[in-house]
Structure formats: C-alpha cells, structure tokens
A and B are shown apart, each in its own frame.
Chain A
Amino acid sequence: MGLYVWRSWLSLGLVSVLLFPCAIAQNGDDGAVKEFQGRIDNYLSAKKKQDIAKKPTDSPSKLAQEKEQTAEKTKKARPEAQRGDIFTPPVAAYFKKQIESTLQGPEGEKVRASLRHAEPLPNVQLKVNAKYPKNLPLQSTPPTLLMNLPPLPKGLQYRIVGSTLVLYDVSSGLVADFIPNAVPAA
C-alpha cells in the first residue's frame, strides 16, 4: 500500500514537472491574447466616440469625404499613438510565435507561397496613425495564418507588408499598429 502511494506521488510529480513549462507558456499566451483584446477594445471605444455611420451611396465624393473625416477623427482620438501601443512587446512576441509556428506547420509552405506571390513591394515607410501608403496593393492575408491569430472585430484586419504584420483600420485607411520582422525569412 505504502509503495503504491509513493509511486502515485512520484508519477504525479513527474507529470507536473513535464507539463509545467507548457502551462507557463499557455498562461503567457492567454495573457498576451487578453492584453491584445483589451487594447483592441480600447482602440475601438476611443474611435467609436468619433465614428461616422457610413451607409452605401452612389456618390464617390461622399465616400472620399467620409473616409477623410473618419481618418481625421481616428487620428484625433489617439494623438499620442505610437508603435507598440497595441502590439506591446509581450503581444508582439506572441504574434511572432504564432506566425512562426504557422510557417513551420503542415500548411507552412502554402502560406509562404501565397506570400511570395504578392505584388512587388515599393520602398514603403509605415507609420502608426498615418494612412496606409497610397497605391500600395493590400496583400492578401493567408487564411491558414488568420486561423492562428486572435480574431479581430469588423473594421480591423491583419495585413502582411513584406515581413511586417500590420493592423489595418479599414474604415479610416489608417495603420493602427504594426510589428516589423514579424514574418521570419524562409
């Protein structure tokens, strides 16, 4: 009986030792995701106070005007915005890890191929709270990658520009934040 109890405790101890790093990583990931979602909520609530309810229209002039107004108001809602406000270091580390594991996963080669087939990139300078560079095509974001990143509310999208992961605000056309060198070289 004593031997049985001793063995059970030993097994439990071994299992705990083996699982402990994973548990820490899991908690770390959960924390990063939670932090990211909190920052997205803050971004949207600041923006919502200023937002314009856009409706379909026949007038391209109205569309252009509304987009300009949305961009101006979004900029004003976060005048001190800088890189890393949303993708904080722990959040950025989490995203880099997710991207890397997607690229090393079973669909990794297809994801890489999809990124390789993008339009050639001109020399672009991304800036937080500034317009996504004019005439730069929006590279499609591989679906398998999107499955491995936290979901975003309507109006925000992940975009890949070269090796940079961009958080793109669709309604204002602004760069909300970005992570340079998020996509590791092949």
Chain B
Amino acid sequence: MRQSKPAIYRNAVFLVAVCASALAGHFAKAQSGSTLAAKFGPSIALQQGATAGKLDIRIPLQDKSVRFAVIGDSGTGDRAQYEVAQRMEAYRQAVKFDFVIMLGDNIYGSHSPKDFVKKFEQPYKPLLDAGVKFYASLGNHDDPDDERLYKPFNMGGERYYAFRKGEAAFFALDSNYMDPKQLSWLEQNLKDSQGTWKICFFHHPLYNDGRHHGADADLRTQVLPLFQRYGVNAVFSGHEHVYQRIKPENNIYFFVLGNSGKLMTHDFGATKDRVKGFDTDQSFMLVEIAGGKLYFQTISRSGETIDFGELPRLHP
C-alpha cells in the first residue's frame, strides 16, 4: 500500500512524538525510582518492577495445604536481597504462603539496630505487613543471643525449637553448636512428634557439592542417625551460597539454599551429591505440603523457575 507524501510526514511526526513521549516517561520513571531509592533504600524503587508480569507458578495450591517460603544466607542488606524479597512478595500475593523459614546468616556483619532494619525489616516489610511469620535458625554469622531474643524471628528465646503447621512438624536446629544437650532435645522431640511430615532446618549442610565450604561430615555423623530413626522427611540447609537439590539419602530429601542474599558464582565442583544446582543468581524456594507429597519450586531473583517438582513422602 502506497502512502501520499503528506501521510508519510504525518506518520513520521506521530512516530517521533510517540518515541519522545516514551523516552520522557522512561526517564521520569527512572528518576522517580532513583529518588525514592535514595530516600528509602532500594525496596521502594524495585517494588514497581517486581510485581509486573505473569508469575510462573509450579506448585498446585491445594486446599488446606501447608505453604511456606525458604530463604538462606539472606541478611546482606544489599540490592540483591531486596530484589529477592520483592520477588517473594509478588509470589506471596499469588500463592498465599504464610510463613518463611530462614536457614541462617540472617544478619551479616554488625548487629546494630540499624542492621536489623536494613538487613531484615526493610527488605521483608511487605511480607511482614501482610502477617507472614519468619522462623529463623542460626548461622555462623548470626549473633546467637540477639537473634534468639528478636521477636520477629519467632525463636521463642531459644537457640533451637520446634513448631507445627498443619500436618507438618518443623525443627529449627543450631548447627553452630550441636552439643549433647541439643542432640537429646532433638531425639526427644522427633520421637514425640505427631507430624506426618518432619522437616528439619539448620545452617550447615550435611551434603554439599559447593567448593567454598563443603559438607559438614561431623555434624552428619551425629544427626543423620536420629533423622533416620525418627523418620525425618526433608532437610533444608544454607551456608554454601548456591542452590542445590541433593540426591535423597536414607529416604530423606535434602536441599541447600544459601543464596537468597549472598551468592558464590560458579562454586560447584564435581557432581557428587546434587541432582540440580544453580550458582549464577540469588534464589528462594516455595514449598507446599499436601497429603503425602511435598511440592517445591525454586525461583531466581530475576523470576526464572530454576527447579521444581513433587516428592512423595518416603518415610511412613
């Protein structure tokens, strides 16, 4: 179709006007974002982008299921932590998880009041405001006294503790200091638990293909026999700043998620224990427990689903 010269000019002028308006809008947005970021920190500036776009949801969202998110080694206060937190909030709105388990290193570096705000309260503010509860376990960068007493971490003033959500029983352990007293507490609580799913979470991984820290074989020697004897179904750990799904061992599923804030890129050595690994961006997990199955989805900071699946309960 041929156009007359005036029509071509009119279209060209229109095109230039549209481009100019789009560019002006873009700069205005970027400007307002950076101004807000300067004033309130990165969370506000990122809020607009993180919720945009369609979410990829790979968990079934069944009625009366237990849904939670998992983060590990999160407390840097850096931009990446805020971006993961924004992504989590976008998913919370769709998936309606109502609690988060924290795999340690919740606050890196100093533990001044400002650090609690910058490295926890501010990035997760939308989640906290929505009533999401955080259950922390202690990492080697955490202050065991301050953090056990910090109410938003829901530790009840203890280094290690248990809680129940629906049919799932959770055991938050202090792997920094697994003394005989904690081991007997663990044994007694696993033994007495009526949960049909028993889930343990703590900082140091029992299996780990990452090169930075590796697996804690001594911890494994002490706790694995208890996990086996009392039917633990899944274990979540952090410490290594990557994501790993480990081959099930002794009918137990193991996950390592230590990259919700810190990241150790290209950290993997030879594949020994892992089924799936991810070490090029930060991530978090969504978990849903319904009946005899555990569904999981691991999502990167940029919103990519990097792993997902459904796992049957292997212990009766």
Residues of A within 8 A of B (CB): 54-61, 63-64, 67, 107, 110-111, 113-114, 117-119, 134-135, 137-144, 146-147, 151-152, 157, 170-171, 173
Contact = CB atoms under 8 A, between A and B. Distances in A.
B150 A63 contact: yes
A60 B116 contact: yes
Contact of B150 (A56, A134, A137, A173): A56
Interface in B199-252: 203-204, 213-214, 216-219, 221-223
B175 A110 contact: no
B113 A135 contact: no
A140 B176 contact: yes
Contacts of B151: 56-58
A64 B113 contact: yes
B143 A173 contact: yes
Contacts of B54: none
A77 B177 CA distance: 27
Contacts of B152: 58
Given A55-B157, A107-B218, A141 B176 contact: yes
Contacts of A67: 145-146
A140 B204 contact: yes
A137 B180 contact: no
A170 B157 CA distance: 13
B141 interface: yes
A151 B180 CA distance: 8
Given A143-B219, A146-B180, A54 B111 contact: no
9 contacts: A56-B150, A56-B155, A60-B115, A63-B146, A110-B217, A138-B140, A138-B144, A140-B204, A171-B145
Contact of B218 (A57, A110, A137, A170): A110
Contacts of B38: none
B160 to A, nearest CB: 12
Contacts of A61: 113
B235 to A, nearest CB: 16
Interface in B16-72: none
Name the prevailing secondary structure of the A interface residues. loop
B178 interface: yes
Given A55-B149, A146-B177, A140 B116 contact: no
A137 B140 contact: yes
Given A58-B151, A63-B146, 18 more contacts: A54-B149, A59-B113, A60-B117, A63-B149, A64-B111, A107-B221, A110-B218, A113-B218, A114-B216, A135-B110, A137-B141, A141-B179, A143-B219, A143-B221, A144-B221, A151-B179, A151-B180, A171-B145
Interface string B152-195: 10011100000000000000000111111101000000000000
A63 B222 CA distance: 33
Given A61-B113, A137-B141, A170-B144, A142 B218 contact: yes
A58 B150 CA distance: 6
A64 B144 CA distance: 13
B109 interface: yes
B108 to A, nearest CB: 9
Contact of B178 (A56, A143, A171): A143
B174 to A, nearest CB: 9
Contacts of B146: 60, 63-64, 67
Given A64-B112, A117-B214, A140 B149 contact: no
A17 B305 CA distance: 71
A143 B149 contact: no
B131 to A, nearest CB: 15
Nearest to A58: B151
A56 B157 contact: yes
Nearest to A169: B145
B310 to A, nearest CB: 33
Contacts of A134: 110
A118 B155 CA distance: 25
A171 to B, nearest CB: 5
A170 B145 CA distance: 6
